[in-house]
């Protein structure tokens, strides 16, 4: 979703959320997801996981990252607030998004990097 919110339009398969590993913050996140109908794919506590995949009745997927390639505090400090419909959401900075995509390096991540960088590149009449 962050790729789309940064301007590169492509199909979205799931939503990745990186959370603060502090127990009270993790508990608030899990309560909010549960109240909106998401259930964990495995019955394990977040403290033993890196990521927890959750699904709702429509089979929409949310991946909750307790540990991520980039520390939560660093992500939060440079995150951006964006409007999504009538709501506001925090989104990973473009710099961190590109960094995370380079770390994972899957074929679709490399395509995302290419698409995002193309948006930043100056056009023939744009002398940036």
Residue 85 has pLDDT above 70, yes or no: yes
- Once rounded to an integer, what is the mean pLDDT over residues 27-50? 93
**pTM, rounded to two decimals:** 0.86
pLDDT bin (cut points 50, 70, 90) of residue 126 is low
- Once rounded to an integer, what is the mean pLDDT over residues 67-85? 94
| H, E, C per residue of the chain | CHHHHCCCCCCCCCEEEECCCCHHHHHHHHHHHHHCCCEECCCCCHHHCCEEEEECCCCCEEEEECCCCCCHHHHHHHCEEEEECCEEEEECCHHHHHHHHHHHCCHHHHHHHHHHHHHHCCCCCCCC
> What's the fold here for domain 2-106?
Beta Polymerase; domain 2 (3.30.460)
């Amino acid at each position: 979703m962050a790729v789309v919110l940064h301007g590169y339009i492509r199909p979205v398969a799931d939503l990745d959320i990186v959370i603060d590993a502090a127990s009270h913050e993790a508990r608030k996140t899990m309560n909010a997801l549960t109240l909106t109908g998401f259930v964990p794919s495995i019955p394990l506590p977040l403290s033993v996981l890196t990521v927890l995949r959750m699904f709702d009745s429509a089979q929409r997927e949310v991946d909750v990252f307790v540990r991520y390639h980039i520390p939560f505090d660093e992500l939060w400090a440079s995150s951006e607030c964006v409007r999504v419909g009538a709501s506001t959401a925090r989104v990973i900075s473009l710099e961190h998004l590109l960094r995370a995509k380079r770390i994972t390096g899957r074929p679709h991540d490399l395509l995302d990097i290419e698409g995002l960088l193309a948006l930043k590149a100056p056009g023939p009449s744009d002398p940036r």
